[in-house]
Structure 1
Amino acid sequence: MRLDKYLKVSRLIKRRTVANEACDAGRVLVNDKPAKASVQVKTGDTIEIQFGSKNVKVEVLDVKETVKKEDVESMYKYL
């Protein structure tokens, strides 16, 4: 699954366009490398997102096309 879509589906970022812009600005790292929105995300990857002065680092546990709001926490684990 594309990185921008994963960020939206997992609700780490609310909108796909915002996720796309964050990737283009270099604020998203996958496995400690700057990532474009088209990077394929798979189980076991680590994603780090820079929100202003705050960093969020998660490990991908599951990749699903659609997820209910209650089940989102099963897609990733905070590091």
Structure 2
Amino acid sequence: MRLDKFLKVSRIIKRRTIAKEVSDKGRIAINGKQAKSSTDVKVGDEMTIQFGNKTLELRIDKIVDTTKKDEAQEMYTILKETMVDTIE
């Protein structure tokens, strides 16, 4: 499954266009390598996503084409969530 579709279906990022923008800006790494929106993801991959002030590390546990809202979190396991302090 494409990275941008996985992010949308798993509801990590709400819209696929936003998921595409985030990944194409180099803010997502899969297994330590920078990923684009078209990168294929598979079960067992570890992903790091840099949001504005938060970094999320997760492992992909399951891939499905469609899911219900309450089942979306079964698709991944959060390994680490780090808040980044902004200096003004």
TM-score of the pair, normalised by structure 1: 0.97
TM-score of the pair, normalised by structure 2: 0.87
User: In 1, distance between residues paired with 2:30 and 2:54?
Assistant: 17
For 1:49, the aligned partner's letter is: I
Gaps of 5+ in 1: none
Shift of the alpha carbon at 1:18?
A: 0.4
Residue 22 of structure 1 corresponds to 22
User: In 1, distance between residues paired with 2:70 and 2:53?
Assistant: 28
Residue 40 of structure 1 corresponds to 40
Alignment of 1:38-77 (within 5 A): 38-77=38-77
For 1:16, the aligned partner's letter is: R
User: In 2, distance between residues paired with 1:21 and 1:69?
Assistant: 23
Residue 12 of structure 1 corresponds to 12
* Count of aligned residue pairs for this structure pair: 79
